[in-house]
Amino acid sequence: MGIEFKNVSYEYQADTPFAQKALNNISLKIEDGSFTAIVGHTGSGKSTLIQHLNGLLKPTLGKVIINNQQITNETKNKQLAELRKQVGILFQFSESQLFEETVLKDIAFAPKNFGKSTTEAEQIAKKAAEVVGLQQDLLERSPFELSGGQMRRVALAGILAMNPQILVLDEPIIGLDPIGKREVMSIFQKLNQELGMTIIIVTHNMDDVAQYADQVIALEHGNLIAHQSTSEFFNHPQWLYQHHLGLPKVAEFAQRLIKLGMQFNQLPLTTEELTNVLKNKLQRGDINE
Amino acid sequence: MNNIILGRYLEGNSVIHRMDARAKLILSFYFILIVFLCNNWQTYTLLAVFTFFCVLCSRIDVKYFIKGVRPLIGLILITVLLQLFFTSGGHVYWHWGIFQLTSFGIINAVYIFCRILLIVFMSTLLTATTTPLEIADGLEALMRPLRKLKVPVDEIALMISIALRFVPTLMDETQKIINAQRSRGVNFGEGNIIKQAKMLIPILIPLFVNSIKRAEDLAVAMEARGYQGGLNRTRYRLQKWHTVDTVAIIIFGGLTLLLLGLRG
């Protein structure tokens, strides 16, 4: 089980003058139930990588193995239906995928496509709407009447209604207000911790990576440059800056404290960690006014 | 969708890339006209050699042009077959019911084939060496005399350049929506025609809604930047007529004379 990439390369428009290499010999393994963040510069191949996870793109070379199903260059689209049920992908600006007359119908669209009856699908849809925190009275409204944040939730509910084992998110909180961001991120955390859903998130926000993810995959120009646990990943600030990746705000602040002479056993990544360390130090009298 | 080659710009720095868009537009239209002057093998050979010469000048791989013909192959075949089997006259080699194979038919079919091929090559050459914006500017310049006939040339030009600008954006967005719906379990290209048509709804509605939103945003952004309509605007991109352009026109003039001389 889990996800495995074996020497995967992908080239857009292969064999034309526009051919473009997007992924270069990527090998990695993502365990079931993990919370993985994919980071990297714009155009580093993150979005290409995640489209391999449910067979929207098939590797030009190498193979992808997801829940024991192999995807290679020769895999037929028909064989991928089962996989698409297991892997839900929420794309960037997912509110642009809504099309039905009512919110409920839109959320029920995916389960219906995967063979559920209309009534069953609508029951599932109602549950999914609850999970993402949509009020019941919105369900009969048109999705186009909603606010941007609500539309994003409807799109997310539409993916969750498939009841995927693996949830892939491409910058899910971009363009949301701070409260909406936190709420949506905590939904993902809950899904991961309570239902054991494997979560893969593409993001530029290192604070979120530090706070929520337990491992990080970094890409650069289509190459895999790091696949480590989050704490290991942020432990080499110099290396991060070299590759145009940053530190979480808390870690940056800690760096400044280090420059002023403070010592940490491990670079704190979240506000909680930092306050705990500082509290301990104060209690032990390591620092004074 | 990304496999359509016809009509895409290929970066380069050849003589033809540097030519003025107006000249290239006029000459491409003119070329389509003179293709119809051809009526024997000498004239067709001349034009084929000339087209090949232009392709060489552009320093673009010939393979690219041949690939551009591929999507049109069905259309070309139908035309050729119709010519082949329904032309009467000349020596009759074979006939069955209304179908007949005649010497005129064969010759006509070959001519039609050459004609389409030459036109496709030349138009591919135009779009491959000229950026969409240059084409829009060129069209605007060529339409300018129509202003006197009360044709809203500036508005048309603006519409063309905005449309051209958004073609790739909309293509990307279409691909994104298709991917999103495929992830939600839609299997495109399966089932009967009615089923397939129904599958288009989850793509078309978001696409239309997004286009309207985008148009609103763009209109507001344009107004906020002081756009008030077409007249009395200055322009940032200036077109420049080079010697190459004049030379090209002279070459085409000479070519026309030669064609007229060789016509049977």
Task: State mean pLDDT over B136-152.
Answer: 89
Q: Measured in whole angstroms, how far is the alpha carbon of residue A264 from the centre of its chain?
A: 30
Q: Are A17 and B182 inside 8 Å of each other by CB?
A: no
pLDDT number for residue A87: 93
**DSSP label of B99:** E
H-helix or E-strand containing A227? Answer: strand A223-229
Q: Find, in chain B, the residue whose alpha carbon is nearest to that of A145.
A: B209
In angstroms, the CA B21 to CA B128 distance is: 12
Confidence label for B100 from pLDDT (cuts 50, 70 and 90): confident
In angstroms, the CA A9 to CA A25 distance is: 5
Q: Are A56 and B179 inside 8 Å of each other by CB?
A: yes
Q: Find, in chain B, the residue whose alpha carbon is nearest to that of A160.
A: B184
Q: Find, in chain B, the residue whose alpha carbon is nearest to that of A81.
A: B185
Q: Measured in whole angstroms, how far is the alpha carbon of residue A248 from the centre of its chain?
A: 17
Altogether, the residues listed in chain A come to a count of 289
**Would the pLDDT of B40 be above 80?**
yes
* Residue B94 one-letter amino acid: W
pLDDT number for residue B1: 43
Beta strand A215-220 pairing with A223-229: antiparallel
| Percent residues over pLDDT 70 in chain B | 96
Question: What 3-state DSSP class applies to B147?
Answer: helix
H-helix or E-strand containing A276? Answer: helix A271-284
Question: What 3-state DSSP class applies to B154?
Answer: helix
Residues A210-233 as b/e (b if ≥16 CB within 10 A, e otherwise) read bbbbebbbbbbebebbbbeebbeb
- Considering only CA atoms, which of B111, B105, B68 is closest in space to residue B90? B105
In angstroms, the CA A172 to CA A201 distance is: 8
Q: Are A96 and B177 inside 8 Å of each other by CB?
A: yes
Burial of A263 (0-12, 13-18, 19+ CB in 10 A): exposed
Q: Find, in chain A, the residue whose alpha carbon is nearest to that of B177.
A: A97
Long-range contacts of A260-265 (CB under 8 A, 24+ apart): A262/A287
Confidence label for B246 from pLDDT (cuts 50, 70 and 90): very high
Q: Are B206 and A85 inside 8 Å of each other by CB?
A: no
Helices A178-195 and A148-160 pack at an angle, to 10 degrees, of 10
Please list every residue in chain A whose beta carbon sits closer than 8 Å to the beta carbon of residue B202. 97, 99, 109
Q: Are A91 and B209 inside 8 Å of each other by CB?
A: no
| Percent residues over pLDDT 90 in chain A | 58
H-helix or E-strand containing A192? Answer: helix A178-195
**Would the pLDDT of A141 be above 50?**
yes
Instruction: Tell me if A234 sits within 8 A of A199, measured CB to CB.
Output: no
Please list every residue in chain A whose beta carbon sits closer than 8 Å to the beta carbon of residue B205. 99
**Would the pLDDT of B68 be above 80?**
no
- Considering only CA atoms, which of A269, A277, A276, A273 is closest in space to residue A207? A269
Ordered strands of the A69-71 beta sheet: A20-30, A3-12, A61-66, A69-71
Question: What 3-state DSSP class applies to A68?
Answer: coil
Alpha-helix residue ranges (DSSP H) falling in A44-170? 46-51, 81-86, 103-113, 118-131, 148-160
**Would the pLDDT of B63 be above 70?**
yes
pLDDT number for residue B231: 66
pLDDT number for residue B211: 94
Which range is least confidently modeled, A28-32, A152-156, B69-73, B248-252?
Answer: B69-73
Q: Which residue has the tokens 């839109």?
A: A106
Instruction: Tell me if B149 sits within 8 A of B156, measured CB to CB.
Output: no
ipTM (interface pTM): 0.87
In angstroms, the CA A257 to CA A52 distance is: 42
Task: State mean pLDDT over A202-221.
Answer: 93
Instruction: Tell me if A25 sits within 8 A of A148, measured CB to CB.
Output: no
**Would the pLDDT of A9 be above 70?**
yes
Please, what is the average pLDDT of chain A? 90
B7 vs B229: which has the higher pLDDT: B229
- Rg (chain B; Cα; Å): 23
Please list every residue in chain B whose beta carbon sits closer than 8 Å to the beta carbon of residue A16. 3, 5, 67
Alpha-helix residue ranges (DSSP H) falling in B7-131? 15-18, 21-35, 41-58, 62-69, 73-86, 103-129
Beta strand A223-229 pairing with B99-102: unpaired
Instruction: Tell me if A42 sits within 8 A of A212, measured CB to CB.
Output: no
**Would the pLDDT of A88 be above 80?**
yes
CA distance B215 to chain A (A): 15
Q: Measured in whole angstroms, how far is the alpha carbon of residue B89 from the centre of its chain?
A: 34
In angstroms, the CA B18 to CA A149 distance is: 48
Q: Looking at chain B from residue 28 to 67, which residues have their Cβ under 8 Å from any Cβ of chain A?
A: 61, 64, 67
In angstroms, the CA B211 to CA B114 distance is: 40
A245 vs B87: which has the higher pLDDT: A245
In angstroms, the CA A139 to CA A141 distance is: 6
**Would the pLDDT of B64 be above 50?**
yes
A287 vs B198: which has the higher pLDDT: B198
- Output the pTM of the full model: 0.79
Beta strand B92-96 pairing with B99-102: antiparallel
Task: State mean pLDDT over B27-35.
Answer: 93
pLDDT number for residue A149: 85
A80's CB contacts (< 8 A; 6+ apart) are A54, A55, A71
Long-range contacts of B241-250 (CB under 8 A, 24+ apart): B241/B20, B241/B22, B241/B23, B242/B18, B242/B19, B242/B20, B244/B15, B244/B18, B244/B19, B245/B19, B245/B20, B245/B22, B245/B23, B248/B19, B248/B23, B248/B27, B249/B23, B249/B26, B249/B27
Task: State mean pLDDT over A15-39.
Answer: 89
Question: What 3-state DSSP class applies to B92?
Answer: strand
Confidence label for B3 from pLDDT (cuts 50, 70 and 90): low
- Considering only CA atoms, which of B120, B119, B125 is closest in space to residue B60? B125
**Would the pLDDT of A66 be above 50?**
yes
